[in-house]
Structure 1
Amino acid sequence: MREVFQQELAEVSNGLVEIARHVESAMQRAAVAFTTSDVALAEQVISDDARIDELAIALDEHTIEIIARQSPVARDLRLVVSALRISSSLERMGDLAAHIAALARYRFPGGVGPNTLRPVFAEMSRLDVAVARQLVALLDAGNDEETNRIADEIKASDTQIDDLHRSTFDALLSDDIQAQSVEVVDATLASRYFERFADHAVSIAQKVQYLTSGEWMQEKEPSTPVAPVTPGA
């Protein structure tokens, strides 16, 4: 029975890596769609988000079955419960990538937000893609040293994204900004989506570090997710 349980835990771990790979692909394509106004690619990201949802639901159901059948305790219980929470964060990251793609679709053939902020969004896009790639490596890491190294890289990228997020609001509140109200709304939403994507990655990194080291690092306080902008907003 113990061997079966370990095999089931491995299946859960592999499932998380698979979902993370889909999230990485979604953010890569969403970033391109956002920065180049590629509406076809944006539609693809939005459509494919359903696949991430399906994988997350299937993994959650499998994890709950493991809890019901195996009645894990102590560290094993922490592993399966953490898997449920990580799955939820990954699903939310997929949603955020879809929201970013939706902004690109809604504003096609134009760009999103004021022209002066396009370089900032391009850098936030680049960093989020890097974070998504690092997250796949984190969930597939083979030892504690590698886990901690990758987790630190994710946190460092998140700090840069936070700084860019704040600079976006500073720019939007500046008297020098020349933008229509819809551009301000779009820029606010886009910045928030990019920032929250990285926040979820940090949350996952902290959970993985806790499972490997037994030491809990304080998470960033979660905030209320922002709903996607509607056409013509």
Structure 2
Amino acid sequence: MRDVFQQELAEVQQRIVDISRLVAISIDKATRAFNESDVSLAEEAITEDEKIDELSVQLDELAITILARQQPVARDLRIVVSALRISASLERMGDLATHIAQLARYRFPDKVIPKSLRGTFAEMGALDVVIANMLTELLTTQDLQLAETIRNEDDKVDALHVSVFEAVLGETWKGLAADTVDATLASRYHERFADHAVSIAKKVQYLGTGAWHPDDNA
């Protein structure tokens, strides 16, 4: 029975990695669609989110079954409960990638963001892709140094997010009302995507060290 239980735990962890890989693919397609006004890529990103949702539900069902049947304790319990929480964050990251893709699709054939902010959003999107790939590596290898790197990259996204708000609220902003709304929403989606990655990274750190710092919550 113990061998079966360990196999189930390994399956839970592998499924998390699989979902994370899809999230990384989704945000890559979504940000490219957003920056290049590519409606085909936008549709692909939206389709990826449907897969993410389905796999997240399957993972949750497996984790709940393990909790009910195996009644794990100590670290095993933390792994299963953390898997449920990580699954929820990954699912939300997929949703945020979809929101970015939907903006691209909605504004097609025009670009979503005025020219003055395109460089900022290209940088923000590139950082989200880097963070998503790092997160997949972290979930695969459990290399806790990656968790710190993810947090550092998130700080860069936060700074860009602030710069977007400063731009749209500044006296020199010439965008229309729709431009202001699009820029504000898109910046928030990018920023929250990275925040969820940080949240997952902290959960992995907790599993690896047993230490949790409430004041560090994402």
Quick one: which amino acid aligns to residue 36 of structure 1? Answer: E
Question: 1:84-233 to 2 correspondence within 5 Å?
Answer: 84-142=84-142, 147-217=143-213, 218-221=215-218
Cα offset, 1:73, TM superposition: 1.1
Distance 1:83 1:47 in 2: 23
2:144–2:208 CA contact under 8 A, matched in 1: no
Say if 2:67 and 2:80, in contact at 8 Å, map to a contact too: yes
Give aligned pairs, total.
217
Q: Residues of 2 paired with 1:78 and 1:216: CA distance?
A: 12
Structure 1 residue 3 displacement after superposition: 1.1
**Moved >2 Å (runs of 4+):** 217-221
Cα deviations by residue, 1:50-92 (Å, 9 ceiling, x for unpaired):
1100000000000000000000112111110000000000000
**SS at the partner of 2:144?**
helix
The offset of 1:220, in angstroms, is 3.8
Matching residue of 1:51: 51
Q: Is the 8 A contact 2:9 2:80 kept in 1?
A: yes
1:92-150 C-alpha deviation (Å, 9 max, x unpaired): 000000100000001111111222111000000000000000010000015xxxx2211
Counterpart code for 2:106: Y
Equivalent residue number for residue 77 of structure 1: 77
For 2:211, the aligned partner's letter is: E
Match of 1:14 in 2: 14
Structure 2 length as normaliser, TM-score? 0.97
Aligned amino acid, residue 190 of structure 2:
F
Q: Distance in 2 between matches of 1:46 and 1:24?
A: 13
Contact 2:144 2:204 in 1 (8 A): no
Greater fraction helix: 2
Counterpart of 2:67, as a letter, is: I
Mapped to 2, the partners of 1:66 and 1:187 lie a distance apart of 43
| Contact 1:199–1:220, Cα closer than 8 Å, also in 2 | no
CA contact (8 A) 1:203 1:219 kept: no
| Paired position in structure 2 for 1:229 | none
Q: CA RMSD in A?
A: 0.9
Task: Determine what percentage of the aligned residue pairs are the same residue.
Answer: 57
CA distance in 1, matches of 2:146, 2:61: 29
Distance in 1 (alpha carbons) for counterparts of 2:48 and 2:150: 25
AA partner of residue 81 (structure 1): V
Counterpart CA distance in 2 for 1:126 and 1:138 is 18
Q: What is the identity, as a one-letter code, of the residue corresponding to 2:191? A: E
Output the CA distance in 2 between the equivalents of 1:121 and 1:179: 15
- Provide the rounded CA distance (Å) in 1 between the counterparts of 2:198 and 2:34: 23
Aligned mates of 2:116, 2:140 — CA distance in 1: 39
2:56–2:91 contact (8 Å) kept in structure 1:
yes
Which residue type is aligned with residue 200 of structure 1?
H
Q: Distance between the aligned counterparts of 1:14 and 1:87, measured in 2?
A: 12
